[in-house]
Structure 1
Amino acid sequence: MFVILVYDVGEKRVGKALKICRKYLHWVQNSVFEGEISKANLVKLKKELEMLIDNDEDSVILYTFRSQKYTGREIMGKEKATTDFLI
């Protein structure tokens, strides 16, 4: 499945949230990630974030799609992160 994840967490937890999300998804820009992920890894990702966030202060939003085929993506301005890999 294809996932877009957006988070807004407290300053003390931002680094840890970034590290967790980078294990499973591609960083797009500040607090935004996307990518293909298995159901099992999505469960792991959610569990790790649940253990990190403060439910009274933080927010994590997950958009899930069956595949990337039905999504569109348009970038306006500077692209913060690319999915290109250097060899």
Structure 2
Amino acid sequence: MYVVLVYDFGEKRVVKMLKLCRKYLNWIQNSVFEGEISEVRLKELVSLAKNFMEEDEDSIIIFKGHQQNWIDKEIVGRERSNIDIFL
């Protein structure tokens, strides 16, 4: 499945979340990641995040879709990280 993951973590935990998400998804902007991921790997990511997140202060929002081409993405301004793969 294709996901867009957005998080808002406190200062002390934000770097941990950034490093965790980079292991699973493509970083596209501050606190925003996207990419193809299996349901099992997504559950693993969320489970690991819950180990250090403060649920009364931090949040994770996950938008799910079948494939990346099912959504339109428009970038205005500089693209932080180009993830297109050219063959």
Please, what TM-score do these two structures have when normalized by structure 2?
A: 0.92
Over aligned residues, Cα RMSD in angstroms? 1.2
Structure 1: runs of 5 or more not aligned: none
Q: Residues 36-47 of structure 1 correspond to what in structure 2 (within 5 A)?
A: 36-47=36-47
Question: Per-residue displacement from partner, 1:24-53 (whole Å, max 9, x unpaired)?
Answer: 000001000000001110110110111121
Q: Aligned equivalents of 1:68 and 1:84: distance in 2?
A: 11
Structure 1 CA distance for aligned equivalents of residues 69 and 76 of structure 2: 21
Name structure 2 gaps, 5 residues minimum: none
Q: What is the CA–CA distance in structure 1 between the aligned matches of 2:76 and 2:16, rounded to whole Å? A: 28
Q: Percent identity?
A: 51
**CA displacement at 1:64 relative to structure 2:** 0.6
- Code of the residue aligned with 2:43 in structure 1: it is V
Q: Which aligned runs of 4 or more in structure 1 are off by greater than 3 angstroms?
A: none
Q: Distance in 1 between matches of 2:32 and 2:16?
A: 14
